[in-house]
Amino acid sequence: MDKDNLPKELNCFNWGAFLLNWIWGIMHKKYITLLYFPACIIPLLGPLLVSIWFGNVGNKWAWESQNWESVEQFNEVQQKYVRLWIVLFIFSVVICVKLFFIFAYIGMHTGA
């Protein structure tokens, strides 16, 4: 399937591919997204540029990865990846804040 078969509504940035890059890629059988890991060798710039690339071509890759019933179903599934990222982000922030307070409490009570 080439770019011409992609519905016009899907010629936009895919935030799920950008935010959950390699996880999103595995779920859509686009294992090239595992390039995210070697890109991490170049701090900040490598992962950012690779994620932008995934976001730019994400809708095309996802559309090609399976037979979708409609554009609406496709968009619904892609939105779930963004929601998952939001949940994971909030969970990570909560864990980091809790760990900060735990270590601060331990530090205050051990005389370190």
Residues 100-104: what's their mean pLDDT? 95
Per the CB < 8 A criterion, the answer to whether 21 and 65 are in contact is no
User: How long is the chain?
Assistant: 112
Taking the CA atoms of 28, 33, 36 and 38 in sequence, report the sign of the dihedral they define: positive
Band of residue 4 on the pLDDT scale cut at 50, 70, 90: low
Taking the CA atoms of 71, 59, 88 and 32 in sequence, report the sign of the dihedral they define: positive
Phi, then psi, of 78 in degrees rounded to 5: -65, -35
**Which H or E run contains 112?**
none
Per the CB < 8 A criterion, the answer to whether 56 and 13 are in contact is yes
Whether the pTM exceeds 0.85: the reply is no
28-71 pLDDT, tens digit per residue, is 999 999 999 999 999 999 999 999 999 999 999 999 999 999 99
Give me the chain's average pLDDT, please.
92
Percentage of the chain exceeding pLDDT 70? 95
